């Protein structure tokens, strides 16, 4: 039976998604990404498996996006994400208008 949860793979630890240890090098991460991306590419699946493959393929891409960016990887490793999978897209923290008033006549 197919899982009704669409966020399970998205919320998984990126190291687990790619099947690499936390000590993995950039090359190991890239190689694991390529292997998983080929394995789960939706075009390589049967029609019955396509929905699951799309979900997993997206999780693999998201995991690689985090682990291939040194800053985001450090943030993830430091526990900077949400419990149960803090590697969602995003990047700017805080807000406000830092340049407000900078254009005074």
CA 9 to chain centre: 10
Q: How many domains does the chain have?
A: 1
- CATH number of the domain where residue 52 is located: 1.10.287.110
How far apart CA 67 and CA 35 sit, in angstroms, is: 15
For residue 81, what pLDDT is reported?
56
Query: 86 pLDDT exceeds 80?
Result: no
The encoded tokens of residue 69 equal 């960016």
For residue 12, what pLDDT is reported?
81
Rounded average pLDDT over 73-101: 56
Task: Tell me if 11 is assigned to some domain.
Answer: no
Mean pLDDT of the chain: 78
The more confidently predicted of residues 8 and 36 is 36
Q: Are the CB atoms for 76 and 66 separated by under 8 Å?
A: yes
Rounded average pLDDT over 12-36: 96
Task: Tell me if 68 is assigned to some domain.
Answer: yes
- Residue ranges making up the domain that contains 63: 24-77
Which pLDDT tens digit goes with each residue over 31-81?
999 999 999 999 999 999 999 999 999 999 999 999 999 999 999 999 865
Task: Tell me if 93 is assigned to some domain.
Answer: no
Task: Tell me if 63 is assigned to some domain.
Answer: yes
Query: 10 pLDDT exceeds 70?
Result: no
pTM over 0.75: no
């Amino acid at each position: 039976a197919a899982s009704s949860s669409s966020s399970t793979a998205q919320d998984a630890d990126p190291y687990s998604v790619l099947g690499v240890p936390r000590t993995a090098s950039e090359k190991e991460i890239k190689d694991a990404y390529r292997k998983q991306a080929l394995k789960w590419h939706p075009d390589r699946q049967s029609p019955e498996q396509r929905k699951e493959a799309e979900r997993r393929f997206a999780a693999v891409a998201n995991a690689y996006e985090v682990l291939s960016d040194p800053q985001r990887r450090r943030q993830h490793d430091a526990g900077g994400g949400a419990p149960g999978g803090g590697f969602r897209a995003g990047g700017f923290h805080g807000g406000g208008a830092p340049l407000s008033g900078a254009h005074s006549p």
